[in-house]
Amino acid sequence: MPDSIFQEALIITVLASTLRGSIPMLLAALGESYSESSGILNLGIEGMMVAGAFSSFLVGLQTDIVPLGIFAAALIGAVMGAFTGLLVINLRLNQIVVGLGITISATAFCNLLHRVIFGNQFRILWGAGLTVEIPVLSKIPIIGQALFNQHWLVYVSIGLVPALYFILYKTRLGLRIRAVGQKPWAADASGVDVSRIRYFSLILAGALAGTGGAFLAVGDLAFFVPGMVQGRGYIAIVIVMLGQWNPIKVFLGSLLFGFALSLTSALQVLGVKVSPDFILAMPYLVVIVALILIAKSTSLPEAFCTPYKRGETL
């Protein structure tokens, strides 16, 4: 029965690569849902993912310890988040201009460093992208190999979904984050430190975006090339719009785009003669269609994109 074996392989490939492909966007989008809930649009997210991808690769290569690279990426992302906070919370600068500035500088800076350090060589980080097989569960036919034989960061990311949902909707901290995004002056009057909450959200968003970039470079793949993030940060922003800041809906949205990405490998396995360029455009087309479908029902936090100054209301 070569046919059924083939079909099985196809299903495993699609499931596994959907999950893997969705993780960078999932991590970035989880962080973005926190920063947007607190009223801040983090357009620098794309640059943070690039920085995460590059730093994880560089540190992983230098130390030969891949997890250290991922940690470095989270750290760099957090620092970039804090820096964004300084500009948009303390100095109350325009969030869109700052975000674009961060993305352009960070992307160019990583490309510059890559060229200076590696020249025109694209080295491979051996030992990156190793999967961890979960005993028992990975023995389940078909889905076992697809879902329970993944990189450890995949399990961590999925574990973060309910945890971040719980924090945002069931704890005092989450209530404060949402309050700061809706009515910062009311939150301030009731004793919430608006700046601190927004800093917390942005630093978390940065760390998660950096980790997302790291997964792309050293989890899913094992190298860094300029331009590899390819707008995944922006897609994460769309996923957050689709999921209305709810981490669980954000997870479902990420899977949708992961599926669009996995079509590339699925069609290759099937041997369908479709231009790879066409398939590569798929995730963006899905984003556009999704945006058109939800066009009428998007709503944003009331204080979205507005700096807070005590004594000022909207």
Partner 1 sequence: MKETLYSKAIPIAGSVLSIFSAFAAGGVILLFLGKDPLLLYGQLFIQGMGSTFGIVETLIKMAPLLIVSAGLLIAFSGGLWNLGVEGQFLMGAMLAGWLAPLLAPLLPLPVYFLALGLLGFAGGGVWALLPAILKARYDLNEIIMTLMMNYVALNLVSWLVKGPINDKTVVPAQTVLISMTHRMPMIPFTRIHMGLVIGLIVIIGVHWIIRRTTMGYQLRVLFANKRAAVHTGIRVKNITILSLIVSGGFAGIAGAGDVLAVKGLFQSGWNPMYGMTCIPLVFLARLNGYAVIFLAYFFSFLAVGGEFVARDQGIPIYFVHVIEGLMLLFFAGTAYLEDRRKG
Three-state DSSP class for residue 129: coil
| CA 282 – CA 285 distance, rounded (Å) | 5
The distance of closest approach from Cβ of residue 178 to partner 1 in the complex, given in angstroms and rounded to an integer, is: 20
| CA 271 – CA 167 distance, rounded (Å) | 45
Residue 32 vs 70, nearer CB to partner 1? 32
Residue 41 vs 217, nearer CB to partner 1? 41
Residue 87 vs 303, nearer CB to partner 1? 87
The distance of closest approach from Cβ of residue 143 to partner 1 in the complex, given in angstroms and rounded to an integer, is: 31
Three-state DSSP class for residue 172: helix
Residue 4 vs 120, nearer CB to partner 1? 120
The distance of closest approach from Cβ of residue 285 to partner 1 in the complex, given in angstroms and rounded to an integer, is: 6
Calculate the CA dihedral of residues 115, 130, 31, 200 and round it to 10 degrees: -90
SS percent in the chain: helix, strand, coil, step 5:
75, 0, 25
The distance of closest approach from Cβ of residue 106 to partner 1 in the complex, given in angstroms and rounded to an integer, is: 8
The distance of closest approach from Cβ of residue 1 to partner 1 in the complex, given in angstroms and rounded to an integer, is: 37
Residue 30 vs 102, nearer CB to partner 1? 102
* Helix H or strand E encompassing 149: strand 149-150
What is the token pair recorded at 60?
Answer: 């992983």
For the chain, how far is it from start to end, CA to CA, in angstroms? 67
List contacts with partner 1 (CB under 8 A): 43, 87, 91-94, 96-98, 100-109, 111-112, 115-116, 230-231, 234-235, 237-238, 241, 275, 277-278, 280-281, 284-285, 287-288, 291-292, 295-296, 298
Residue 173 vs 285, nearer CB to partner 1? 285
The distance of closest approach from Cβ of residue 70 to partner 1 in the complex, given in angstroms and rounded to an integer, is: 24
Nearest to 80 by CA among 99, 96, 64, 59: 99
